[in-house]
């Protein structure tokens, strides 16, 4: 630690210049992190000036994500308007940016504890939260540590937010993207910290996403399938649970907030109040909502079935029966079965065969097809039989026979 200067608020002389560039400072006496966002005077508000000021906010841990995402939303709107770099922006966006910019200096008043775990912890838990809206989505991770006296210490560790794509998409899909960001943050935390977590829990207020994570990815459409598969690889599917929107700190990521609100938000810096209770689990599980039924889930893959058949023997072949009465009754039962399949249970026919069912007209038609197929086809096509037919003198014609 000899490289740090104890007389300076930030880093040593060489490092102090770098800190001004990066905008992140360390207060060695209190062991806290702070920001040094330099607000310069601008003559005109245009896309170039806004992007220049946004780039001054360096936030590697994403602790200011609820504010940074607001600037991303403004930039996205400017790109959609297809304005040039130095063109004046619309009044609505101009007012929105000026109001936000006027509060940027409050971020310099933040002093964030570098230690996110209490001294001599006996239990360390990781809790992740994700959320999404039509404008943005993201995830944040908190560490919950408990000491030997039962004191609970909850602090924000890592966060990230992204603006929603310009192309319209459904809220459940955006919620899934937020869960994906959270799973990736979790992997980075596990790889970066040499800490053994006694418990890892992930929270989302989307019952659809929670149901997606419980089923096989192959049953889902490509967009959802790929993301669910990665989340299931990064985290255990049954480590995800439901939380109400009012208790979800990631709600600030999806909607954005002003710097003054972020500075005074205890939920953002210390997590929801119930997480700071010793026995939060017992009181909170009873309010958990039921998951979506799999059959009602959106983006389920439609399994197309194709029935392939091949032409085989005729169903009522005379060669299979030596008794006329048996053939007639078997045919009647088959026709009854076909008819009953199309009717409701109360309208179906049961019991002994009726005289109408035993008339065997379909067998007569089948016998004629076997003996005079060429003549029947000729009548259907031309209305008459060929001159060389043996039935020419009988002047045959076809009639429709109902089975």
Chain-wide mean pLDDT for the chain? Answer: 85
* CATH number of the CATH domain containing 186: 3.10.20.370
Mean pLDDT of 160-173: 96
- Whether 92 and 124 share a structural domain: no
Highest mean pLDDT among 13-22, 25-34, 95-104, 297-306: 95-104
Same domain, 287 and 362: no
55: number of Cβ within 10 Å: 10
Top mean-pLDDT range of 272-276, 287-291, 326-330: 272-276
399 part of a folded domain: no
Q: What is the pLDDT of residue 282?
A: 46
Q: In terms of domains, do 326 and 269 share one?
A: no
70 belongs to a structural domain: no
Mean pLDDT of 323-342: 85
Query: In this structure, are 266 and 327 located in the same domain?
Result: no
For residue 225, pLDDT beyond 70: yes
Residues 91, 142, single domain; the answer is no
Banded model confidence at residue 355, pLDDT cuts 50, 70, 90: confident
Q: Is 42 domain-assigned?
A: yes
Q: Report yes or no on 316 lying in a domain.
A: no
Cα–Cα distances in angstroms (integers) from residue 25 to residues 7, 20, 95, 142, 167, in the given order: 14, 8, 31, 22, 38
Share of residues in the chain with pLDDT > 90 (%)? 57
Instruction: Tell me which of 192 and 392 has the higher pLDDT.
Output: 192
Q: DSSP character for 115?
A: -
Vertex 322: Cα angle to 320 and 327 (nearest 5): 70
DSSP state of 313: S
Strands (E), 29-151: 32-35, 112-113, 121-132, 136-147
pTM here is: 0.72
For range 379-400, the mean pLDDT: 72
In the predicted model, what is the mean pLDDT of residues 361-367?
75
Q: Does residue 157 share a domain with residue 96?
A: no
User: How many domains is the chain built from?
Assistant: 3
| C-beta contacts of 19-22 below 8 A and 24+ residues apart | 22/58
The rounded percent of the chain whose pLDDT value lies above 70 is 84
- Region 7-23: mean pLDDT is 44
Q: What is the arithmetic mean of pLDDT over 197-217?
A: 95
- Which domain-ending residue is among 273, 308, 343? 308
> Is 362 inside any structural domain?
yes
The whole domain housing 230 covers 115-308
Same domain, 304 and 184: yes
| Least confident piece of the model among 11-25, 188-202, 219-233 | 11-25
Which residues, including other chains, have CB under 8 Å from residue 297's CB and lie 6 or more apart? 208, 211, 212, 215
Residues 237 and 358 in one domain: no
Sheet containing 24-27: give its strands across: 24-27, 32-35, 112-113
Statement to judge: residues 365 and 242 lie in one domain:
no
Task: Give the neighbor-by-neighbor strand order of the sheet with 136-147.
Answer: 152-163, 136-147, 121-132, 199-204, 240-242
Higher local confidence (pLDDT), 311 or 139: 139
In a domain, 216, yes or no: yes
Identify the domain boundary among 254, 274, 308.
308
Q: Are residues 266 and 223 in the same domain?
A: yes
Q: What number of CA atoms fall less than 13 Å from residue 133's CA on the CB side?
A: 16
Q: Are 350 and 369 in contact (CB under 8 A)?
A: no
The pLDDT, as a whole number, for residue 10 is 42
pLDDT score of 213 more than 90: yes
Choosing from 258, 274, 308, the residue where a domain stops is 308
Higher pLDDT, 173 or 31: 173
Report yes or no on 73 lying in a domain: no
Q: Are residues 92 and 122 in the same domain?
A: no
Least confident of 24-38, 200-214, 256-270: 24-38
Q: Residues 111-132: pLDDT tens digits?
A: 999 999 999 999 999 999 999 9
Any domain includes 263: yes
Q: 381 or 112: which carries more pLDDT confidence?
A: 112
pLDDT at residue 6 in the model: 35
Please give the Cα distance from 352 to 208 (Å, whole number).
53
């Amino acid at each position: 630690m000899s490289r740090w200067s104890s007389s300076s608020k930030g880093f040593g002389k060489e490092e102090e210049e770098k800190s001004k560039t990066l905008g992140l400072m360390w207060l060695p006496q209190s062991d806290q992190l702070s920001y040094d966002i330099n607000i310069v005077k601008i003559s005109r508000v245009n896309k170039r000036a806004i992007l220049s000021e946004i780039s001054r906010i360096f936030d590697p841990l994403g602790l200011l994500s609820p504010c940074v995402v607001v600037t991303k939303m403004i930039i996205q709107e400017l790109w959609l308007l297809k304005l040039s770099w130095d063109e004046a922006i619309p009044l609505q966006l101009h007012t929105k940016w000026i109001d936000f910019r006027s509060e940027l200096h409050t971020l310099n008043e933040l002093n964030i504890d570098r230690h996110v775990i209490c001294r001599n912890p006996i239990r360390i838990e990781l809790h992740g939260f994700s959320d999404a809206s039509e404008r943005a989505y993201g995830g944040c991770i908190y560490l919950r540590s408990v000491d030997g006296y039962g004191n609970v210490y909850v602090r924000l560790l890592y966060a990230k937010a992204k603006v929603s794509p310009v192309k319209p998409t459904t809220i459940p899909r955006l919620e899934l993207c937020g869960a994906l960001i959270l799973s990736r943050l979790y992997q980075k935390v596990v790889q970066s910290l040499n800490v053994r977590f006694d418990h890892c829990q992930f929270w989302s207020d989307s019952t659809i996403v929670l149901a997606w994570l419980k089923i096989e990815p192959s049953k889902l459409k490509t967009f959802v399938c790929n993301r669910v598969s990665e989340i299931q690889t990064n985290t255990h599917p049954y480590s995800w649970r439901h939380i109400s929107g009012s208790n979800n700190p990631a709600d600030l990521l999806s909607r954005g907030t002003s710097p003054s609100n972020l500075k005074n938000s205890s939920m953002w810096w210390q997590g929801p109040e119930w997480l700071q209770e010793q026995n939060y689990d017992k009181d909170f599980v009873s309010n958990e909502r039921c998951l979506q039924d799999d059959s009602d889930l959106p983006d389920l893959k439609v399994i197309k079935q194709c029935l392939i058949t091949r032409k085989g023997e005729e169903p009522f072949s005379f060669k299979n029966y030596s008794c006329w009465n048996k053939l007639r009754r078997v045919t009647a039962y088959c026709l009854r079965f076909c008819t009953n399949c199309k009717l409701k249970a109360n309208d179906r026919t049961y019991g002994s065969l009726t005289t109408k069912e035993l008339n065997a007209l379909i067998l007569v038609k089948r016998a004629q097809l076997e003996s005079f197929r060429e003549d029947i086809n000729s009548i259907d096509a031309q209305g008459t039989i060929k001159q060389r037919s043996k039935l020419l003198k009988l002047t045959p014609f076809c009639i429709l026979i109902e089975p």
